[in-house]
Amino acid sequence: MKIGELADRTGVSVRALRYYEEKGVLRPDRTAAGYRIFTDADVRTVSHIQRLLAAGLGMDLIGQILACLSGDTLLLDACRERLEAERRRITGDIDQLVHTRSLLDDLLATTRAPARRSA
């Protein structure tokens, strides 16, 4: 399939797909005329990329993680340490956000809400 069809099938813009290719996380074959040719495996790869981007991961890390993928399963022997480190980082970020939210909740609890106007 060509890049436009991949864009239609994945809901990702052609521009984003070209960016993924530029970053090396998407590697289409090319015809003799230079057209990109994608496969169903590329549809799965774009899906993985989208999920990882939505989780807040950067393209360099996504490239490392995609190198661990074989079809739909992770090859954890080669990548387990890197994946665990990223999971620890995300957990730390979540813990910090929960702490910050708790501080805000405490501040809100100690302040008085403005009086409401009656209609």
Of 66, 24, 28, the closest CA to residue 45 belongs to 66
Report the alpha-carbon distance of residue 7 to residue 4 in Å, rounded: 5
Report the alpha-carbon distance of residue 12 to residue 20 in Å, rounded: 11
Both tokens assigned to 12:
């990702």
Q: Is 106 exposed, middle or buried (0-12, 13-18, 19+ CB in 10 A)?
A: exposed
List alpha helices for the chain, DSSP H.
3-10, 14-23, 40-54, 59-66, 76-110
The string of pLDDT tens digits covering residues 58-83 is: 898 898 888 877 544 556 666 778 78
Query: What global pTM score does this model have?
Result: 0.69
